[in-house]
Amino acid sequence: MAYNIVDARGRSCPEPVIMTKEALDIYKGETVEVKVDAMVAVENIKRYAGNLGFIVEVEESNNDYRLLIRK
């Protein structure tokens, strides 16, 4: 499955959510991968995407977070 990757590391809220929103606005069935480096961004993106009916998986590695978002 194709990926749309959003790298929002180093950005402060609400920027990671806005970047995720832009990716989900053009969602065409591919997995959207969002990279962030703050737990508050993880929680905000999970809430936002979940409210739109998306499934969000979170992987943590060395204080970086990878969110895989799909329907």
Residues belonging to the active site? 13
Measured in whole angstroms, the distance separating CA 70 from the mean position of its chain's CA atoms is: 10
- Residue 23 is inside which H or E element, if any? helix 15-25
> How far is Cα 20 from Cα 14, in angstroms, rounded to an integer?
10
